[in-house]
Structure 1
Amino acid sequence: MWNLTKEAKEKFSKCHLLPIHESDDDWKMALREAKTEREDLIARLKEELKEVKEELLHVLPGRFIPYVENGTLNQPTLPKKVREDYLQWVQETVKEFEQILDAAHEQTLHAIAYLPMAVQDVFAESLHDAIIERIEREGNTLHLYINTDSGFSTKSHIHLIFNDVIIEESDDLLQVGQLLIYYELQKTDEGFAFRVLFDCPEAEWTITMKGMNAQYYYRPMMYTRLRDEEKLEETSLTEYVSLLNPDYRYSLITPHLRSNINAFTDNLILDKGKFELGQNEIVVSVENQRFIYDLTEYNPIQFIYTDVYEDPYAHFNEPVPTEQIEAAALGNDLELQVRAWNTMYANPKALADIINRVLWKIQITEENQMMVSVYASHFYKSEILIEAVLERYRNLID
């Protein structure tokens, strides 16, 4: 029996169709701001309710339907008891889905213990928001290639191999470009079962197979650094490969193939195949296949992967000398700032005096409020904040 279902996801997503203000103070503030900005808030809210009315009528408990029909569910005239009941229903629906995800996660943890270490490595990190890049079927084996650049895994390219497929069930065909949202892996008597809820387009896909394996690759550290500095587009292939660690092994991975890279010259020397970088296109030839990639759409740099993980942000964890922490945390050098805050985060007891001085002196802005709140909460739990600092941050501490 599956914990994860398309119906559960839809119920969860639809409970957020119509957000409403949660208190009288919120309404007063919203109405005041609308008056200042000369906005007809009431009319806008009526339009918002109208847009989602049909969907709400199918998902809301019956007790809220009259307030949808008369148009007051998201208006300030909604009785307080009804508002509180509606907000409670939203919270309970969210909690219910969180419990479903927790149960799916427990099933996945149980199942991966029976699978090869490579699969365990893949599922040790989240696959949420990964994108299907390639689908290949070979007899009763399915190869699913996913890109996690938009997701949360350090493994940038993952090749999932479903061996001895028994059955596939889906309300839509798998498609390149689909977004992996939620998933659950189960151990079965026959082997394993894997369920995924996709987006763009939405689909529930379940595959049952006797075995499963995986391969994965990383972006070189320099790729991430150049991307974060917005320098990827201006960096040539020749310049880029000169920055790579020559002791590592590299692969060329495109939307259609993977090949080992034997050497870097003006072009890439592939193990099996040929790579050509022209004025307007990239041409990759492997065996009897030839693939062309337009340079306006693809950067050859994005095709280079390695099997060695390097943390591109490791330098941010290098501690700042104690005598420099306060100046660095309050200074304008972003890298030194991050290192200083990380140093304080890791050593709250030893650096209590410095931490209190920094928190007292720092100017809280809209841009840094969330970051400061996270650190202040951590230092509060470490019980090192003096009373004056504690009072200043009381509203920001979680």
Structure 2
Amino acid sequence: MKYFTQNWYREMQVNGFLTFPDSKEDWEESLNWINEDGTSYIEMLQAELEWRKDDLLTLLPAPFHPYILDGSLKTKYPSKELRRMAEEWNKNYQSRSHDLSKQYMEQFEEIKEQLPSQVLEIHTKSLHDGEVLSFSSTESTITLTIAGTSVGWYDTNVRLTFSDIEKSSIPEQLEGSWWLYDEIYKTETGFELHVLFDCPLCELMIQARELKIETV
């Protein structure tokens, strides 16, 4: 991935996590929330903070680190200073993310008329949030079956068959992963597709000449 990388996606998750209640009243109301399994609101925040700790320490600047290390980043009502830092970081991230998407779309607009029609459909109809149901390959083909989603391409499953494979990089654990974001490039003989998957977070690359799409 040249644009929508694993680090970009991790930053997106930090951006979503780094939000606070609008008011003290909202915070106090949230404290009364209990999950179905008996987990309290604070316990849920503590667990998520621990799960995201490495990314938070890596991606957020040093002034955030004391809040992360002592566990108070999300488990206490934020000070004005913490809220200000979070708003500035989120604003910066959103600006960078917008610029990145714009850069990708500009290069895509330059090549889209040169792409095979079914390759173009991956971009225009989206497979976002589709689960990989199966994967198989031969020397010259790669086949992926993706579950349909209500927010993505089809509400039925889709089989993608790439043929005349010239180059590929396939994650070890692909079945069960979720299609997040994709990038498409023109090559001299065909196209190159990059896909970012989650669960686990990984990247796929396929360089091929042809793509056949079928509903199954």
Q: Same fold (TM over 0.5)?
A: yes
AA matched with 1:206: M
Q: State the distance in 1 between where 2:105 and 2:126 align.
A: 10
Corresponding residue for residue 37 of structure 2: none
Q: Does 1:208 align with 2:207?
A: yes
Q: 1:63 to 1:161 in 2, by over 3 A?
A: same
Q: State the distance in 1 between where 2:161 and 2:167 align.
A: 15
AA matched with 2:81: K
Corresponding residue for residue 351 of structure 1: none
Q: Does 1:76 align with 2:74?
A: no
AA matched with 1:125: K
How many residues matched?
209
Q: How does 1:50-61 map to 2 (within 5 A)?
A: 51=50, 52-61=52-61
AA matched with 1:28: E
Q: How does 1:99-118 map to 2 (within 5 A)?
A: 99-118=99-118
Q: State the distance in 1 between where 2:200 and 2:142 align.
A: 20
DSSP 3-state at the match of 2:135: strand
Q: State the distance in 2 between where 1:207 and 1:65 align.
A: 39
AA matched with 1:212: E
Q: 1:198 to 1:65 in 2, by over 3 A?
A: same
Q: State the distance in 2 between where 1:109 and 1:92 align.
A: 26
Q: Does 1:159 align with 2:164?
A: no
Larger RCO: 1 or 2 (CA < 8 Å, sep 6+): 2
Shift of 1:67: 3.1
Q: Does 1:10 align with 2:7?
A: no
Q: 1:114 to 1:48 in 2, by over 3 A?
A: same
5+ residue gaps, structure 1: 218-252, 254-398
DSSP 3-state at the match of 1:156: coil
Q: State the distance in 1 between where 2:71 and 2:154 align.
A: 47
Corresponding residue for residue 129 of structure 1: 129
Corresponding residue for residue 27 of structure 2: 30
Q: Is the 8 A contact 1:197 1:204 kept in 2?
A: yes
Q: How does 1:236-275 map to 2 (within 5 A)?
A: 253=216
Corresponding residue for residue 94 of structure 1: 94
Alignment deviations for residues 61-84 of structure 1 (CA, whole Å, 9 cap, x no partner): 112223334554333362x13311
Q: State the distance in 2 between where 1:191 and 1:82 align.
A: 50
Q: Is the 8 A contact 1:136 1:142 kept in 2?
A: yes
Q: 1:49 to 1:121 in 2, by over 3 A?
A: closer
Corresponding residue for residue 183 of structure 2: 184
Q: State the distance in 2 between where 1:49 and 1:178 align.
A: 21
Q: State the distance in 2 between where 1:165 and 1:145 align.
A: 17
TM-score by length of 1: 0.45
TM-score by length of 2: 0.76
Identity over the aligned pairs, expressed in percent? 23
Alignment deviations for residues 265-322 of structure 1 (CA, whole Å, 9 cap, x no partner): xxxxxxxxxxxxxxxxxxxxxxxxxxxxxxxxxxxxxxxxxxxxxxxxxxxxxxxxxx
Shift of 1:153: 1.7
Shift of 1:197: 0.6
DSSP 3-state at the match of 1:134: strand
Q: State the distance in 1 between where 2:48 and 2:176 align.
A: 32
Q: State the distance in 1 between where 2:127 and 2:78 align.
A: 43
Corresponding residue for residue 85 of structure 1: 85
DSSP 3-state at the match of 2:17: coil
Q: State the distance in 2 between where 1:135 and 1:49 align.
A: 32
Q: Is the 8 A contact 2:30 2:41 kept in 1?
A: no
Aligned-residue Cα RMSD (Å) equals: 3.3
DSSP 3-state at the match of 1:66: helix
DSSP 3-state at the match of 2:94: helix
AA matched with 1:129: D
Q: Is the 8 A contact 2:115 2:186 kept in 1?
A: no
DSSP 3-state at the match of 2:131: strand
DSSP 3-state at the match of 2:10: helix
Q: Is the 8 A contact 2:145 2:158 kept in 1?
A: yes
Q: State the distance in 2 between where 1:108 and 1:148 align.
A: 25
Corresponding residue for residue 381 of structure 1: none
Alignment deviations for residues 121-176 of structure 1 (CA, whole Å, 9 cap, x no partner): 44321211122233232332222232323542247343323232222224x32533
Q: 1:112 to 1:133 in 2, by over 3 A?
A: farther
Q: Is the 8 A contact 1:146 1:159 kept in 2?
A: yes
Q: State the distance in 2 between where 1:180 and 1:214 align.
A: 18
Corresponding residue for residue 47 of structure 1: 46
